[in-house]
Amino acid sequence: MAATDIAGPLGVARQALLAYVDPWIGRSLGELGALRDLRLDGSRLLASITLPVPVGDYRTELEDALSAVLAAAGLQFALQLQLTADIAAHAVQKTLKPLEQIRNVIAVASGKGGVGKSTVAVNLALTWAAAGARVGLLDADIYGPSQPLMLGLTGQRPTSVDGKRIQPLLAYGVKAMSIGMLIDPDQPMVWRGPMVTQALTQLLSDTDWGELDFLVVDMPPGTGDIQLTLAQRVPVAGAVIVTTPQDIALADARKGLKMFDKVAVPVLGIVENMSLHVCSKCGHEEAIFGEGGGERLAGECGTLFLGKLPLDARIRAEADGGRPTAVAAPDSARGRAYRDLARRTAAALALRGRDRSSLFPKIVVEET
Ligand SMILES: Nc1ncnc2c1ncn2[C@@H]1O[C@H](COP(=O)(O)OP(=O)(O)OP(=O)(O)O)[C@@H](O)[C@H]1O
Ligand SMILES: [Mg+2]
């Protein structure tokens, strides 16, 4: 950096930008090493910023915030932002190695059934994809797959080019795979433990995912065989626990948290679904199932509270109609609730340790 940079307006701008704390990640651009380049072009200030989260939906917001920062520092520049994402592979269970092409496996789980895991999983995946990330969605609910319906893929079958690997189906930019795409939905399924665990690992490894930043795994409810297989065999970068505010769901969520703790799968945080009921006729809001439980549980368990989602009939209608809220109404209040959840989840992951194996070159000792 030239000495004049430090003293001059460019230096002042640099210091101001480096000190800016991103409200989602909770770290300054300086701490994040996010400011990659800064230069003046007449009265325009060109800033190149790289964040460790999907940024597609974030440019205008950040540009406005940083323009305000510059104005507060007494600078009159017109800021032009070049914003890119660099999503790292994060650390997984110590006993496992991260997958080569999939940077981060994110499991969406709950202790209790029917609390909204699948709805959260699909909207999380779609929001990240809309923000420019490379995203896959694996429906691990072998007993009751719901992703084909939610993604509008009912009846479609994945194909295989080489007879070995299966091509995932594509919906709204997300690569999706579900046992529901491979079986006849009208046939009752009889699965025994080993078949269940094999189905999960095969869906993961036999699918041609390509390069992904995130693979969201929609888990079945509870703490059974599939959860154990996931914990033991799938390198998970983080789990998101979904709960509703009722005591019974919270108690089950606590069990789910403990299970992941025991098997050393890192938990990113808790989402409270069906928090406030929003009347689709008059917009009146009511806390039917109680209030604040998810946040309290997160505090108690020392994990993050990733946000609350409204109980809104339109969320169900959109998911059942094969066009989940994140694509049907991303700018509505409910769409923004999913967007905020996706941002907080990506930020929680970004703050976790990186996969060290990708940071250092592998040392090979050759025998002579
Ligand atoms: N915030 C919400 N507002 C309104 N309806 C919702 C909301 N979240 C989920 N639903 C609806 O509730 C039902 C259950 O949701 P979902 O299938 O996502 O739960 P789940 O936890 O995956 O269930 P399971 O344990 O059976 O896999 C679905 O009909 C879904 O559309
Ligand atoms: Mg489900």
Task: Give the global pTM.
Answer: 0.92
Q: Does 116 lie in the same domain as 29?
A: no
In total, the chain counts a number of residues equal to 368
Q: Are residues 129 and 229 in the same domain?
A: yes
Q: Which residue has tokens 């072009």?
A: 41
Q: What are the pLDDT tens digits along the chain (368 aa)? A: 444 445 589 999 999 999 999 999 999 999 999 999 999 998 899 999 999 999 998 999 999 999 999 999 999 899 999 999 999 999 999 889 889 999 999 999 998 899 999 999 999 999 999 999 999 999 998 888 899 999 999 989 888 888 889 999 999 999 999 988 887 767 766 667 777 778 888 899 999 999 999 999 999 988 888 888 888 899 999 999 999 998 888 898 899 898 888 888 999 999 999 988 888 788 888 887 777 889 999 999 899 999 999 999 999 999 999 999 999 999 999 999 999 999 999 999 999 977 665 444 445 555 54
Q: Is the C-beta atom of 126 inside 6 A of ligand 1?
A: no
Residue with tokens 């046939």: 187
15/140 same-domain check:
no
- Specify the residue with its C-alpha closest to ligand 1, atom 28: 316
User: Is the domain of 293 the same as that of 181?
Assistant: yes
**Within 10 A of 132 (CB to CB), how many other CB atoms are there?**
18
Question: Left if phi > 0, otherwise alpha if psi is -120 to 50, otherwise beta: which for 87?
Answer: beta
Q: Which pair of structure tokens corresponds to residue 55?
A: 């940024």
Q: For ligand 1, pick from 108, 110, 118 the residue to mutate: most ligand atoms within 8 Å of CB.
A: 118
- Count the domains in the chain: 2
What is the rounded distance in angstroms from the CA atom of residue 342 to the CA atom of residue 330? 12
Tell me, yes or no, whether 110 lies in a domain: yes
In whole angstroms, how far apart are CA 82 and each of 40, 50, 138? 14, 8, 32
Q: How far apart are CA 291 and CA 272, in angstroms?
A: 10
CA–CA separation, 191 vs 167, rounded Å? Answer: 24
**CATH code (residue 25):** 3.30.300.130
Of 18, 53, 85, the residue that ends a domain is 85
Residue at 360 is within a domain:
no
- Classify residue 366: in a domain, yes or no: no
Q: Quote the tokens at residue 77.
A: 């520049």
Type of residue at 51: L
Ligand 1 nearest atom to the CA of residue 146, by list position:
17
Q: Are residues 234 and 316 in the same domain?
A: yes
Burial class from Cβ neighbours inside 10 Å (0-12, 13-18, 19+) for residue 364 reads exposed
* Complete DSSP assignment for 48-63: EEEESS--TTTHHHHH
Nearest CA to ligand 1 atom 2: 311
Q: What is the CATH number of the domain that holds 322?
A: 3.40.50.300
In a domain, 92, yes or no: no
Q: State whether 206 and 303 are in the same domain.
A: yes
Q: Where in the sequence is the domain holding 330, given as residue range(s)?
A: 102-355
367 within domain boundaries: no
The reply to whether 129 falls in a domain is yes
278 lines ligand 1 (CB under 6 A): no
Check if the beta carbon of residue 35 is closer than 8 Å to that of residue 5. no
- Please tell me the distance from the alpha carbon of residue 340 to that of residue 84, in angstroms, as a whole number: 19
- CA-nearest residue for atom 3, ligand 1, is 311
* Same domain as 291, residue 196: yes
- Tell me, yes or no, whether 93 lies in a domain: no
Ligand 1 centroid to Cα of residue 274, in Å, is 9
Q: Are 136 and 212 in contact (CB under 8 A)?
A: yes
Q: What is the DSSP string of 263-276?
A: TTPPEEEEEE-S-S
Ligand nearest to the CA of 333: 1
Q: Cβ(146) to ligand 1 under 6 A?
A: yes
State whether 39 and 137 are in the same domain: no
Counting from 1 in the atom list of ligand 1, the atom nearest the Cα of 219 is 27
The domain boundary, picked from 59, 85, 111, lies at 85
76 lies in the same domain as 123 = no
Q: Are residues 143 and 18 in the same domain?
A: no
Last residue of a domain, one of 85, 114, 136: 85
Three-state DSSP class for 160?
strand
Verify whether ligand 1 is closer than 6 Å to residue 325 (CB atom): no
Domain shared by 197 and 63, yes or no: no
| Same domain (yes/no): 77, 109 | no
Pocket probe for ligand 1: among 108, 117, 119, 334, the residue whose CB has the most ligand atoms within 8 Å is 119
Q: What's at 339, amino acid-wise?
A: R
β-strand 238-243 against 174-178: which pairing, if any?
A: unpaired
**Rounded Cα–Cα distance for residues 159 and 140 (Å):** 19
The ligand 1 atom at the shortest distance from the C-alpha of residue 317 is 31
Q: Is any atom of ligand 1 closer than 6 Å to the C-beta of 144? A: yes
| Tokens matching residue 278 | 């929003």
